[in-house]
Amino acid sequence: MATSVNPLQAAGSVQLLKGQKALVTGANSGIGLATAVALGRAGADVVVNYVAGADEAEKVVAQIKEFGVRAYAHEADVSNEEQVVGMVARMVEEFGTIDVMVANAGLQRDAHVTEMSLAEWQKVIDVNLTGQFLCAREAAKEFMRRGVVEEVSRSAGKIICMSSVHQIIPWSGHVNYASSKGGVGMLMQTLAQELAPHRIRVNAIAPGAIRTPINRDAWSTPEAEADLIRLIPYRRVGDPEDIANAVVAVASDLLDYMVGTTLYVDGGMTLFPGFATGG
C-alpha cells in the first residue's frame, strides 16, 4: 500500500474540481475506485459506474459522500451502446450535465496467440476500446451541447482515457490487451484533434504496474513482486492513488493546455529498464 501520505489527501482543502460533475467507469475496484474517491475529494459530484459488485459500488458512493458532494452508483456495461447512452442521459438528468468522463473500465483475457479464442480477443477489444469510444462519444455530445461555463472550468469538458504502458510496450501473451491499449492511444489522439476546436480536452493516462486485482498474480507473492520490480526503475509497485492523483490534475484547469497527450505514470517502466546496465 501507499508508503507515505497522499499529498492531495494531506492538502485536504484543495478543491480543484469544485462544482464539476464526473463519471468514472469501472469505479468499484482498483484505479477506478481510487479515482472516484479522489474526484469527490477534489469537490466533484461523482457517478460510480460498475458492471458487477453493487455492494462495493455503494461503499464507494458512501465514501465519496463524506466529502459533502453528491454521488450515486450506476450499473452499466461500457461495451453496450444502449447502456452507455442511458448512463450519461441519467447523469444529465440527475446532475444537470457532465464535465469529466474517466473511461477507466478494462479487463484482461490472457492467452498465447495460438490459444486465444476469438471470444477472448473480442471481449477485450469490446470493453477496453469500444467501451471508451462509446463513453467518449456520449460525453462529447453533452460537452458540445452545453459549451464552456467559465465559472466551472476553462474547457467545455474533459475526457480521460485510461490507457497503459502497453499502449507502446508490446506484451507477449496479451495481444488482445496490448492491441486494445494501442488503439486507445490513437482513439484519444484522433478525438483530441477533432474535439479541441470545441474546447474539449481529450487525454490519456498510461499507468505502469499498479497494485490492483487486474494483475494480482504479478505482486501477490514476494517472488512475483521482486520480478515485477526489476521492470520498474523507481523500484516500487504503484498504488491506485498514484493514478487517481494524475486524473485529478489532468481533469483540472491546472492542466488546461494539455490536449491530446498521454501522461505515463509508471515509475519509469517505459525507460527500457533492460538497458539500465548496458545493452
Query: Which residues sit at the interface with ligand NAD, rule CB under 6 A?
Result: 25-26, 28-32, 49-52, 77-79, 104-107, 127, 131, 162, 164, 207, 209-210, 212-215
Q: For residues 127 and 156, which CB has a smaller minimum distance to ligand NAD in the complex?
A: 127
For residue 184, give the C-alpha cell.
Answer: 486507445
For residue 118, give the C-alpha cell.
Answer: 476469438
User: Distances in Å between the alpha carbon of 167 and those of 57, 205, 236, 241?
Assistant: 28, 10, 21, 21
Q: For residues 110 and 253, which CB has a smaller minimum distance to ligand NAD in the complex?
A: 110
Tell the smallest beta-carbon distance from residue 160 to ligand NAD (Å). 11
Tell the smallest beta-carbon distance from residue 87 to ligand NAD (Å). 10
Tell the smallest beta-carbon distance from residue 17 to ligand NAD (Å). 20
The answer to whether 264 is a known catalytic residue is: no
Q: Give the count of beta carbons closer than 10 Å to the beta carbon of residue 47.
A: 30
Q: For residues 157 and 238, which CB has a smaller minimum distance to ligand NAD in the complex?
A: 238
CB 203 within 8 Å of CB 262: yes
3-state helix, strand, coil in the chain (%, to 5): 50, 15, 40
**Of 50, 72, 177, 257, catalytic:** 177
Q: How far apart are CA 276 and CA 234, in angstroms?
A: 12
Which residue, among 42, 96, 97, 101, has the nearest Cα to 76 in the 3D structure?
Answer: 101
For residue 45, give the C-alpha cell.
Answer: 459530484
DSSP 166-197: GGTS--TT-HHHHHHHHHHHHHHHHHHHHHGG
Q: For residues 217 and 256, which CB has a smaller minimum distance to ligand NAD in the complex?
A: 217
> 30 in helix, strand or coil?
helix
Tell the smallest beta-carbon distance from residue 64 to ligand NAD (Å). 15
Q: For residues 144 and 218, which CB has a smaller minimum distance to ligand NAD in the complex?
A: 218
Tell the smallest beta-carbon distance from residue 178 to ligand NAD (Å). 11
Active-site positions read 177
